[in-house]
Structure 1
């Protein structure tokens, strides 16, 4: 019983700890809206207005087609009535501005089509390309019928920029058509938000930049921070304690204070908007030096003395003795450095000016518009950004856990 309670309690803690990650991913697969308001359908027009002039501003007619509003509807109070002349191909187009239909399953509407011989629905993109869907006319044409047009396999037009949806008709005699409740049906759940994030806004380049910078910064810290820490831990030289105090003091200086002198230095070197300015200043960090110095001081010095007796020099001892024994501390420093570099926003924003040099955090900030935030797109981008951090932790976790358990075992 106690074991069951313990496991249940641990499961609840796990759910609580994963809740932000789960909500972020769930929002990323929402077509529109947010976690509290999931939009699975959107009305383009339901013709619920008494002003025909307002309707005509959103609808364009061709070949003398006449339209009006009538009190006849299957789901509301009124609908659009279209008068069809005999032996004429006539058309009515719903102007949609710049409509994105990539996340939609299709278009749904109600129609009543008495005495109609041919009925097509056409989609036009911003380049003037069109795609026509013939609608099969059957059943009782004097009754309202729900029509659904699937957009799943449409590839001939740009579904990101649909400017109008047209209804074309043909009848051998005079006829009337009634249309009502035209709406978009969205896919839910959808992975299209991830596709949009990856393909648009140069996001692939941002990921490459951040990965390159973070990996090189981690490698630099593993080499240089360990070397400096070994010198502080095992070597005696003039001003050693004073220099180490300076290293510790730099940890207390806010990065906003040092950004201006670093910017001036990078500008004098000609490194603004280059990888040099994003990598070189972080190849060695005071936190890495402090962490590794404290760890190396705990290692048995007899191992190094034995290596000296066997004829090893200082660098051989460093790379063949100190590095292998310091793997747990290096793993902690590595993942901390990777996360810090990956999440850096202010510094890359100041040091870069072109799209090709931006990092993921700068790119993520660009998704947030002044008065509107597209939450599904933003959460999809955030989910993609979190993947490398999780991978980095999985790579280093074995060494981190071994470092934790090492001190719990008596030799």
Structure 2
């Protein structure tokens, strides 16, 4: 028994050394989605504030929305980040013309973001909830190739998706689905123009520009804080059609680049629609909220993607006497970046079927997947 106790202590010490936690210095609460730039890769903290960083790493950078960026000299199992400011009344509020800012970034997109063929090691995560209960989760390591790092509308409309983006499915770390928890999970097999577009920031940027240009649209931008060349800006867009957008960005005024973008689409006021599921069932569909997030970092003098995330919440489906409130998340973390060629990947994912139905190509690289408590509990349930 004594030997078992010693083994448990040693094992616990080893496991704790394989991760660090990022917390709020004032409240002690975990900070989710904190970005950590290491010497050889990039990772993010999970919902519990943990990231797969072991004690061999030194001299790395941690940043999170609403907190001051920190340069870490030596490894620590707990990293505390300071909030950007304590009292909003102390900050001078300055208006920002977001229409002009968005249009300038869009017009000069090719100059300010890397636009040549590139290859990434990414972790892709999909989660679906029904009535607040997780019923599907898939986490896989993928090689992702992009010809231009931006969405080409001409290729997209003509469904030449492989000329824009290619994936190679590698290690499927977790894949679990509880069919009984969700009725309306069926979808068409065809990969859509918009679905691919959401992978790219220029697609989302142009969507907001078009929203601003709609008749009678009201919009505003506000400078919230400024640290060096980095500005934090919040914005609001209200269209006559009933779509409201509230978001925030980080803008590097020296490079004239949006380094972080998050937009929350509030669509509760849109009318209920009649829909038919792929298996022929008629139901009522009510829109909720959708949040799109894009994060970039500067590597070797160019701006490349760090993260993209698409979240939906409170989408409600009414079928006979049943009510299903839906929530989902698709996240891509770009662990590594390499300049590539125009050849693409072989083999590659067939977008005409679910990514999970493609045959994986095994890759022996070290995994960066770290489950949250909620995800681990879902996997553990028989």
Give the TM-score taking structure 1 as reference length: 0.20
Indicate the structure with greater helix content: 1
